[in-house]
A = this chain, B = another copy of it.
Amino acid sequence: MMQPVPGGITAPLGFRAAGVACGIKAEGLDLALLTSDGPASAAGVFTTNRAVAAPVLVSRRHLDRSGGIASAVVVNSGCANACTGARGLAAAERMGRDTAAALGCAPERVLVASTGVIGVALDIDRVARGITAAVRRLGPDGADAARAIMTTDREPKSWAVDVESPAGGFRVGGMAKGAGMIEPNLATMLAFLTTDARVAPALLRRALVEAVRDTFNAITVDGEQSTNDSVLALAGGASGVDVDASAYPAFVAGLAEVSRRLALAIVRGAEGATKVVTVRAGGAVSEAEARQAARAIANSLLVKTALHGGDPNWGRLIAVAGRAGVAFRLESAAVRIGPVTLFSDGRPYDERAPAAADHLRGDAIELFVDLGTGGEGEAVIWTCDLSAEYVRINAEYRT
């Protein structure tokens, strides 16, 4: 069982946070610090983009060296420190080193993340001053940290839950920003999860991978993947509850619930978005093929623009499913918009289009495509509609 609680990233016991302005962004908070009172188990999943940013390289290396133990995460917004060569790598390393020195821990116990403009040098002196200020402000309120990681996000994204398990109760909290590369010239989805459950690094990593798969990895705004995408989890153990075999399912469920809430907040807050869209594909030969089809539909410009216009255009869904590179049988395929079946058994039901159009007038859209293979593969991807506003934001930035 699970219950939402306030507090976000500092809702679990044993974590403190701060957010300060250090002058990387023209205005607003731009440096966040998250610390664990004791050494925490730590795990991360990172972008698979081959143009990987310096902070991702540093965090990966620190997780390796420390064997999955961390005391802090330091994050700046306003500069991605990506495509910045050896100098960028040195800056990311120093960001971790300065934080470690201020906190009195080993450098490899600090994880680093950045988000913002690609290809611009990180002003490390400003970051250093920000770290000093943030350490002084560390406290039980995570709100400023959630604000300091924002770029063009409309609002901060936090969530936390109380989790009951056979082994006892614990909390999971989190904060996030962005979505893929929704931002104009900025980049990156960043998410940070905390828990006061006690869990070994290897098991934390396994749980994180499971939790991310159907949450952060199941959203798409524009099909892009940034150079900086990172999801980091810290488990401090202050609840005294061990994640043993009996508690593991509840633990994964807690991580997944916070991840799901943050992922949906990212989609809802995407540039120009007016609707959250749940794309479900079924009748696939495998879950992987279902996911591939759902993702193709979720990234289709023609589908996203039709949804924006409220047009129950099932032909576009069929056409995308047909070109998605997965097994597909038109004769037994079906399309549903909300509760309304518009195509099945090889024939359209256009007389139902008004009912489907009603569903599309809402801001939470459900699409279902049966690929018609008779298989049991199913998957869900979340996305948003595509508006002229998205184009305006992404075309007119910097001009």
Query: What residues of chain A have their CB less than 8 Å away from a CB belonging to chain B?
Result: 47-52, 82-86, 117-120, 181, 185, 187, 222-227, 300-302, 305-306, 308-311, 313-316, 318-323, 327-331, 333, 343, 346-348, 350, 386-388, 390-392, 394-399
Contacts and interface: CB of A to CB of B under 8 A. Distances in A.
8 contacts: A49-B319, A51-B328, A119-B348, A185-B316, A224-B300, A224-B301, A224-B319, A313-B398
Question: A49, A319, A347 — which one has the most chain B CB atoms within 10 A of its CB?
Answer: A319
B347 A85 contact: yes
Contact of A225 (B323, B347, B399): B323
A314 B119 contact: yes
Contacts of A387: 391, 395
A48 B313 CA distance: 21
A396 B309 contact: yes
Contacts of A330: 50-52, 83
A217 to B, nearest CB: 14
A122 to B, nearest CB: 13
A84 to B, nearest CB: 8
Q: How many copies make up the complex? A: 2
Given A50-B330, A313-B398, A399-B311, A224 B187 contact: no
Contacts of A397: 309, 311
A350 B309 CA distance: 39
Most chain B CB within a 10 A radius of its CB, from A86, A117, A222, A398 = A398
In this complex, the member of A52, A310, A316 whose beta carbon has the largest number of chain B beta carbons within 10 angstroms is A316
A181 B319 contact: yes
A181 B225 contact: no
B224 A51 contact: no
